[in-house]
Structure 1
């Protein structure tokens, strides 16, 4: 009985560990993992487990800006059953990283973008033991080429963060409840009169949408957008497209 009481507050209870085949991924990429449940000191019934793809987002209220955790996507596994003391259960798992998962591996002066996979057990009368695995998320070819084009046009990436909310344009909109902003500033006095540019990407299976917020000295703030087809990614053409949008 004493062991059951301890397990109910997490002492000697079952634990979970998600072992990823790789922690280096791109948005939309298929990934594999092994979920290992190690029993505690007593028999415990596990109703299920949840895997959550998480990020940290900037939100705002009447008191100002603040950061909070945001669930991008959630997967549930049921029918696990009971684990007995000394038992180890291994569950294979496969899923696809959400296409709007923020990029973490970027060379920004100030990078506030974080992504992790959190696994928690649903155990009757017990705390929720959880496991966190941080992910290294890289840009797809379209996003990477767009970032290279910004450098060739004389802009430096100064900041990256993730905002709570949705993006909408005439031909696309986001669905994850959050969006990443990459903030660029000109390396010198801009020929386009641009003081700052913020890029947000919404990748799909065969194309990536780009929403661009322009802060211009003479025209004020404004939005433009473009779509990059994944089978037509070309650095020179993208430079030309962006240059036209900035003028």
Structure 2
């Protein structure tokens, strides 16, 4: 091999390529993602030190009133080491991993992807990115249905922000911001919910923002005292009773703070 060709391989030209196939385009939190890493050898033999598959997302962190996008790794899996691949040779590496509970749900847009990287000495590491739709767990789905379709709230915004609550993981939180349309209209300005993992089902970190009524309420709103923060557990058993049952739990809880 001439010097020029060696240099081209060093910077990644003519080197190995990677393409990952995800066997399902949609997966629920707590379920498994299955896939296959396809590697195609380049124009010369190469040694791949490591093949990594990662589940990633992004979140917003505000620094000096400026919103910045940051990436978070939810799962990191090494699926191969010390692999020699000949010119034009094809290799396949299957993998499976579970979607963790703190993975953001895909609402309105996909923000979670599977990223594959080949670590090759003295070369630009080939990468592949595949976006995937993350659906809520069954219990989370019942809660969302109760809020949207039984209590009649409207989903105004979903955003992943930097932060922690209790033992939350990843360095970020996904906030769901709801506006009352029927129940609690005129009583609440908004309701924010963040899902937190629980061995019983799911914990809801709820911010209940009451609407100002009268001078006292106006002063409380001005001082930020109109917001109540609570944690409510919705068990898998509660969810199994249906959306109306869960909506009644939510309605009674919110009424206690209005």
Pair in the same fold by TM > 0.5: yes
Does residue 238 of structure 2 align to residue 225 of structure 1? no
Q: Which one has the largest radius of gyration? A: 2
Change (3 A) 1:84 1:113: closer
Residues 19-77 of structure 1 deviation map (CA, whole Å, 9 limit, x = unaligned): 11112101111121111111111211111022121111011112422222221221123
Which residue in 1 is equivalent to 2:248?
240
Unaligned 5+ segments in structure 2 are 212-216, 218-224
Residues 131-162 of structure 1 deviation map (CA, whole Å, 9 limit, x = unaligned): 00100111122111111111221310111111
Quick check: 1:113–1:160 contact (8 Å CA) kept in 2?
A: no
Paired residue secondary structure (2:154):
strand
Alignment partners' CA distance in 1, 2:65 and 2:178: 27
Which residue in 1 is equivalent to 2:158?
160
Quick check: 2:55–2:115 contact (8 Å CA) kept in 1?
A: yes
Quick check: 2:154–2:178 contact (8 Å CA) kept in 1?
A: yes
Which residue in 2 is equivalent to 1:69?
71
Quick check: 1:113–1:161 contact (8 Å CA) kept in 2?
A: no
Alignment partners' CA distance in 2, 1:174 and 1:200: 10
Pairwise CA distance, 1:192: 7.0
Say which of 103, 106, 116 aligns to 1:119. Answer: 116
Change (3 A) 1:205 1:91: farther
Pairwise CA distance, 1:221: 1.4
Does residue 73 of structure 2 align to residue 58 of structure 1? no
Alignment partners' CA distance in 2, 1:59 and 1:85: 44
Higher-RCO chain (CA-CA 8 Å, sequence separation at least 6):
1
Residue correspondences, number:
238
Pairwise CA distance, 1:204: 4.7
My pick for the range that moved more, 205-214 or 87-96, is: 205-214
Aligned 1:83-98 pairs, distance under 5 A: 83-98=85-100
Paired residue secondary structure (2:170):
coil
Quick check: 1:34–1:90 contact (8 Å CA) kept in 2?
A: yes
Alignment partners' CA distance in 2, 1:129 and 1:46: 11
**Superposition TM-score, scaled by structure 1 size:** 0.89
Alignment partners' CA distance in 2, 1:78 and 1:198: 42
Alignment partners' CA distance in 1, 2:184 and 2:81: 60
Which residue in 2 is equivalent to 1:183?
177
Pairwise CA distance, 1:203: 3.6
Alignment partners' CA distance in 2, 1:163 and 1:112: 16
Quick check: 1:13–1:39 contact (8 Å CA) kept in 2?
A: yes
